[in-house]
Chain A
Amino acid sequence: MRELAQKVVRPLAAEVDREHRFPAEAVKAAAENGLMGVLIPREHGGAGLDALAFAICIEELARACASTAVIVDVHTSVGTEPILLFGDEEQRRRWLPRLASGELLGAFALSEPGSGSDAASLTTAARRNGDGGYVLNGTKTFITNAGRAGLYVVFARTGSVERASGVTAFLVPADAPGLRVGQVFHKMGLHGSPTGEIVLEDVALPTSNRLGAEGEGFNIAMRALDSGRIGISGQALGIAQAALDEARALMRERGHEQGDDFTLADMAARVESARLLAYHAAWLCGAGRKFTREASMSKLHCTDTAMQVAIDALQIAGEDGAIDGSPFERHVRDAKALQIYEGSNQVQRIVIARELLRAG
């Protein structure tokens, strides 16, 4: 894994960032090495590994290229795992092998322009049509892998039930008539990973594309995000480790004094503690134990660590590090996204506090 990341993915990182280019060859190499199906059971063409192995894979990818890491992470966790956990046998057989091989890239469409942290307020509508299927209408935003994905897990409101209990999950193929990619955003970082809007206009789906029962969608989304947060933790660790490694190499090369020595020591201690927290959450998840609180703590701590460590590393590098194409400035731009997506760090604090203050 490390060899693949360092030999194939890392040499592309600067160019992918500079050109705002999808790292197709890196994703292809990841697919050829079985990375797109890490969590998928062997019977469905995957590697059948657990959350800890997944976290380590994403960490190694992110050490090389944060854009590639988030593409694979979103595909593997929130883009695929809902089918693994909530799909019926027919859905698992139909979709998982194609996702595991990388033939299809997965994506997760929950957020909307007016519904970010407050996901339960989403307004995309799924109405029953005459022949027992559904028709979807609405706009999803900030969708990672937009335009590249072959399959979107889309959350929409069925019936007139408000808030969370009216949300249902659907599997929407990218080539479904009526689905189109809207604006693709120009972002501060993660330039290799497309983020955009998905517009659904009278997208007709058979019932066999509904994931889980009507009204079960919000629970599916929350469960997907719990393990998604382990993936993001891995991504954060990879960025932080890369920044730490590069700062260390620079200091060894050009000499160092105690001021920067202390900063480097703080960076290393932060990364180490973040890693242990992430691996612990991943281990709980893999062991089938409750891990919601730990996943949120891990996401919060790992991403705040990545931001701080990236800023500190750039500060150690100085003006040379701020030049375009330097990994130091790229890490700063990339790290910021992690404090925001898959539940902003404010939402993580809400989750952690709620778990802590729960009665009983």
Chain B
Amino acid sequence: MDFEFTAEQVAIRDTIRELVQDRVAPRAAEIDARAEYPEDIEKLFAENGILGIPFPEEYGGISGSSVTICMGIEEIAKACASSSLILAVQALGSYPILVAGTEEQKKRLCPPLASGEKVAAYALSEPGSGSDAAAMKTRAKRYGNEYVLNGTKQFITHGNVAGTLVVFAKTEPGNGAKGISAFVLEKETSPWAVAKLEHKLGIRGSPTAQIVLEDVKVPVANRLGEEGAGFKLALAVLDRSRPGIGAQALGIAEGAFAYALNYVKERHQFGQAIASFQGIQFMLADIATQIEAARHLVYLAATKVDAKAPDLTKTAAMAKLFASDMAMRVTTDCVQLLGGYGYIADYPVERMMRDAKITQIYEGTNQIQRVVIARALLR
């Protein structure tokens, strides 16, 4: 299967590619070293419509297509994985609204996100509830026209910079997964507290927050879908966002490989470029093949998101699993191709290797992806 991108998608990708090379790539090492959220890059993406990619035109956006989102994430991740999360999490935090929101909610909540005036975040995990999301403890109690939320959410990407936060909470604690509902919190009217920011192995420019909800009031008008429909929505959202993590992994691997490929052509040992040695050539061939295989799986999954294909869940999990495992292997090999230089911060590939690891873990660990795939196979 070959992917025929539309002329519009190619134009968006080329714009992003140029912007990334000019403005993001030169900042990537510094963003990592300082472990600071790059507000300048967020602003750049907002001004250039990149944060509008996850939204259809009727809600103020420019696309809404998962394929286009993946193309954007991939391009940004080639230079800076932290920056690619600005788009990826904008999509993740918006999917619940786009999937389960009423027309009124979409018209009200999406335009400020599409314009980049606000960024979105998605709060599912808790300290005691990671892979087992249904075990969450955060509680939402209804009092008249509003809900009051209490609980702690863990590992929330952009939880401290977001203006719009989708939170999953128990409205009916005794009812397991069927007792979970989804809410949209707007910072101005339903403020949440950030208890701490994590220091991480990689994606250091993308803040990961622990969020504390203490009697946070949310209007009933900001509940997404019916009470009890939250868990199903969380899974539906992850089906849509996982190809994006695959695209991020793909971009990280491509960025590392482009650098390493150039390096082995220029580095001379034993009187010749090290690229002339067959041992190195075999590594290059394996890396390129793995990247190509992952790319097709990622865009197949993204196409299935856009087509609302019935087997989306399985393919999305496969794309995330395969691309992230690939990225870990490929970036580890790219460090190897640069030898000692690969291990030091003067060169970008060690950062890319550190960044790759999280793609095997978040939005469902790769163990969870295997559970999802096996369940689909054995159904």
Contact = CB atoms under 8 A, between A and B. Distances in A.
A336 B353 contact: yes
Given A340-B340, A346-B280, A260 B367 contact: yes
Interface in B243-296: 268-271, 274, 277, 279-280
Contacts of A307: 332
Contacts, number: 108
A349 interface: yes
A333 B344 CA distance: 11
Contacts of A344: 336, 339
A344 B344 CA distance: 15
The range of chain A's interface size is 35 or more
B279 A323 contact: no
Nearest to A324: B199
B42 interface: no
A339 interface: yes
B269 A340 contact: no
B374 to A, nearest CB: 9
Interface stretch (A29-37, A116-124, A201-209): A116-124
A145 interface: no
Interface residues of B, number: 41
A185 B358 CA distance: 25
Contacts of B336: 339-340, 344-346
B361 interface: yes
A319 interface: yes
A256 to B, nearest CB: 11
A269 B185 CA distance: 49
Given A259-B371, A340-B336, A322 B358 contact: yes
Given A260-B367, A323-B199, A332-B201, A116 B343 contact: no
Query: Which of A188, A307, A341, A344: most chain B Cβ within 10 A?
Result: A188
A158 interface: no
B340 A336 contact: no
Interface string A329-360: 10011001101110011100110000000000
Query: Which of A307, A319, A337: most chain B Cβ within 10 A?
Result: A319
Given A332-B201, A333-B201, A340 B354 contact: no
Contacts of B99: none
Interface of A: 111, 114-118, 121, 141-142, 185-189, 195, 259-260, 307, 311, 314-315, 318-319, 322-325, 329, 332-333, 336-337, 339-341, 344-346, 349-350
23 contacts: A116-B269, A117-B270, A121-B269, A121-B270, A141-B340, A186-B345, A187-B345, A188-B350, A188-B353, A188-B354, A307-B332, A318-B130, A318-B365, A319-B361, A319-B365, A322-B202, A322-B357, A325-B199, A329-B201, A333-B354, A336-B332, A340-B339, A340-B342
Interface of B: 125, 130-131, 155, 198-202, 268-271, 274, 277, 279-280, 328, 332, 335-336, 339-340, 342-346, 350, 353-354, 357-358, 360-362, 365-367, 370-371
